[in-house]
Structure 1
Amino acid sequence: MFQIILINFAISLLAFISLWAVSVKIRNASIVDIFWGPACALPALTTWLQMETHSLRATLLTGLVLLWGARLGLYLGIRNVGHGEDFRYVRMREKAGGDKPFVMHSLTHVFIMQCCISFFVSLPVQVGQFGTSPWLVFPDGALGFLAWLGVAIFVIGLMFEAVGDQQLRRFKADPTNKGKLMDRGLWAWTRHPNYFGDAAVWTGLTLIALESQWGVLTILSPLLMIHFLYNLSGKALLERSMSRRYPDYEDYKRRVSGFLPRPPAR
Structure 2
Amino acid sequence: MIDNDVSQTIASLAGGLGAIVAFMAFGLTLAQRQKKLTVVDTLWGLGFILVALVSAVISLGGDGDRALPWILLAMVTVWGGRLAWHLHRRNSQAAEDPRYKDLAEADGRPFAQVALMRVFLPQGVAMFLVATPLMVGGNNTEISVPLLVLGLLVWLLGFLFESVGDAQLAQFKKDPDNQGKIMDQGLWRYTRHPNYFGDACVWTGIWVVVAGSLPGLITVISPIAMTIFLTRVTGASLNEKGMKKTKPGYDDYVRRTSGFIPLPPRG
Q: 1:245 to 1:42 in 2, by over 3 A?
A: same
Q: TM-score, normalised by structure 1?
A: 0.90
Give distance in 2, aligned partners of 1:161 and 1:115.
22
Q: Which residue of 2 aligns with 1:214?
A: 215
Question: Which of 111, 119, 130 is matched with 2:120 structurally?
Answer: 111
Query: How many residue pairs were aligned?
Result: 256
Q: Which runs of 5+ in 1 are unaligned?
A: 133-140
Give the alignment's Cα RMSD to 1 decimal: 1.8
Stretch deviating more after TM superposition (145-154 or 63-72): 145-154
Matched, 1:89 2:100: yes
Offset of residue 142 of structure 1: 4.7
Offset of residue 226 of structure 1: 0.7
Q: 1:109 to 1:203 in 2, by over 3 A?
A: same
Offset of residue 244 of structure 1: 2.3
Q: Which residue of 1 aligns with 2:29?
A: 21
Could you list the structure 1 runs, at least 4 aligned residues long, displaced by more than 6 angstroms after superposition: none
- The residue correspondences of 1:177-192 to structure 2 (distance < 5 A) are 177-192=178-193
- The residue correspondences of 1:1-266 to structure 2 (distance < 5 A) are 1-52=9-60, 54-97=65-108, 101-132=110-141, 141-212=142-213, 214-266=215-267
Provide, for residues 141-199 of structure 1, a one-character-per-residue CA deviation record: whole Å limited to 9, x for no partner.
45332221111110000000000000000000011111111111111111110010011
Identity rate, percent: 37
Give distance in 2, aligned partners of 1:18 and 1:241.
29
Q: Which amino acid aligns with 2:39?
A: I
Offset of residue 43 of structure 1: 1.0
Stretch deviating more after TM superposition (220-229 or 205-214): 205-214
Give distance in 1, aligned partners of 2:163 and 2:235.
17
Q: Which residue of 2 aligns with 1:138?
A: none
Offset of residue 265 of structure 1: 3.2
Offset of residue 213 of structure 1: 5.3
Offset of residue 236 of structure 1: 2.1
Provide, for residues 17-40 of structure 1, a one-character-per-residue CA deviation record: whole Å limited to 9, x for no partner.
112112111211221111111112
